Structure 1
Amino acid sequence: MDSIYKSIIEALIFASDEPIAANDIIKVIKEIDGQDIEITIDDIEATINELNLKYQNNENSFNILKIAEGYVFGTKQEYAKYLGYLTTEKNKRRLSQAALETLAIIAYKQPITKPEIESIRGVNSDYMINTLLEKNLITIKGRSETVGRPLLYVTTKEFLKYFGLNTINDLPKPREIEEIMKDEDFLEQKRKIMMNGIEESLETEIEDETESGNEDTLE
């Protein structure tokens, strides 16, 4: 493939806010340079492989990933713990433990109904399901054929993007999750996150006490 198209493909992936599919890349190129341009999905994939090889040889900290059936730039795995720490500090979309638990059940058991989710969790899940729906991490996909025909819930493409997965089949297996839970880096990050949560709670309590004291003084 002409080197100019390699740069164009790289630029399109870099500039895209969302994972961009190979077909969309082809569509853009044909719209600009003409429908007679011969470029296929295989050409796109081969170009991306070449670009990733170049990034590897240059020891770049990033490469092109295939996520949610599209392509996006991402940092390499060896930098995950550093970026993970930064994300936990700043990410306002952080899910609660209860929301993650509900989401995990849906991801591994989908399609699944609310009664089935609650049977596994042992508690009412209305609020957690509504939260996940609002964040577009799950969606409704029809109704079950069981009594009452309850709604069925499945994960979305936003779920794949949120967790950096290409397809739902990329979810870690239960055995892999057990290994992650025992990993020292994971345990260290978990400890830091818990400490940050405690510090935030203490700050809130101090602020509340200060405000209460000010009110008493005013009275």
Structure 2
Amino acid sequence: MELKFILEAVLFSAQKPLSPAELRDVLADAAEQAEDETAKAFKKVRLDDLNAALEQLAREHNDAKRSYRLVCVAGSWQFVSQPDYAPWLKALVGEKMRPARLSQPALETLAIIAYRQPLTRAEIEQIRGVSVDGVMQTLLERGLIEQVGRAEVVGHPMTYGTTPLFLEYFGLRNLAGLPAADELRRIPAQKPESLLTVEPGLATAPPEQLTLDAAKDGIAGGPEQKPQAESRKSETGGQKTAPDVALGDEAVRTS
């Protein structure tokens, strides 16, 4: 019996997505409980062999062009239906209430965290150029970001990163699946020497410390020029926004 078919049967019957480690535990438990020598043969399957079997199984399902496929989202594997069959599945299960779409400021803040994590709230505000208190609260409530530690600066403010739900929300296997955004990663975020507030979770850098030097590569106007930031009203006040940064052939506004 082939490993890939055992994994196929387990995933087909599972009530939730399963990670490779969880699948290996299922194989080990089956070997302990079963008297069949076939089951015992898969007691100590290596993760590399298990992942290879999953990848092969996924390719075979894709090549077969069936109504369902095997995918890995947020590090866990599951069978899902093809998007083409959505109208009939909606008629079967009914329309479900979907969460409200993220606003543009929320998406921009989430992108900064995804590419630059872990980040403090002050560093995020430095890159965006506006206050992000309301946006951060929304992302935390939606479970897309979480507190992942504390920064090694005065006051030890909280740092933030994305969650497994973020990967599931955008259909990503892991963070390596994010689209290339080298320019966003190169925007310098200077850690403040001191903080205005005493409470670490609400720490914000003084305005004079929120300096944003545009990355030399990819900035419109050439490497010797610095783009001028246009003063615009933020969603929470009258702060200035960050400059436009050229990502590839198009200029993307980071605020």
TM norm structure 2: 0.56
Confirm whether residue 162 of structure 1 aligns to residue 169 of structure 2. Answer: yes
Equivalent-residue separation in structure 2 for 1:132 and 1:118 (angstroms): 15
> 1:108 is paired with a residue of what secondary structure?
helix
Unaligned 5+ segments in structure 1 are: 182-219
Q: Distance in 1 between matches of 2:132 and 2:13?
A: 39
Report the equivalent of 1:192. Answer: none
CA RMSD of aligned residues (A): 3.5
TM-score (ref. length: structure 1): 0.64
Whole-angstrom CA distance in 2 between matches of 1:47 and 1:62: 18
Counterpart in the other structure of 1:115: 122
Q: Is the alpha carbon distance of 1:96 and 1:18 closer, same or farther for their aligned partners in structure 2, counting shifts above 3 Å?
A: farther
Taking the aligned partners of 1:25 and 1:173, their CA distance within structure 2 comes to: 31
Q: Compare the two structures and name the one with the higher helix fraction.
A: 1
Q: 1:33 to 1:115 in 2, by over 3 A?
A: same
CA deviations over 1:155-175 (Å, ceiling 9, x no partner): 111211211222212210137
Partners of 2:124 and 2:13 in 1: how far apart?
39
Q: 1:31 aligns with which of 25, 29, 32?
A: 29
SS in 1 for 2:40: coil
User: Which residue matches 2:149?
Assistant: 142
Residue deviations 1:154-196, cap 9 Å, x none?
A: 1111211211222212210137x968x9xxxxxxxxxxxxxxx
1:72 has 2:78 as partner: yes
Q: CA deviation at 1:106?
A: 0.7
Contact 2:31 2:41 in 1 (8 A): no
Q: Where in structure 1 do 4 or more consecutive aligned residues deviate above 3 Å?
A: 5-8, 14-19
Shift in CA distance, 138/17, structure 1 to aligned 2, threshold 3 Å? farther
How many residue pairs get matched? Answer: 173
Quote the Cα distance in structure 2 between the aligned partners of 1:74 and 1:45: 18
Q: 1:133 aligns with which of 140, 143, 147?
A: 140
Provide the residue aligned with 2:69 in structure 1: 63
Q: Report how far residue 44 of structure 1 moved.
A: 2.6
TM superposition shift of 1:149: 2.1
Percent identical pairs in the alignment equals 37
SS of the residue aligned with 2:165? helix
Matches within 5 A, 1:152-191: 152-174=159-181
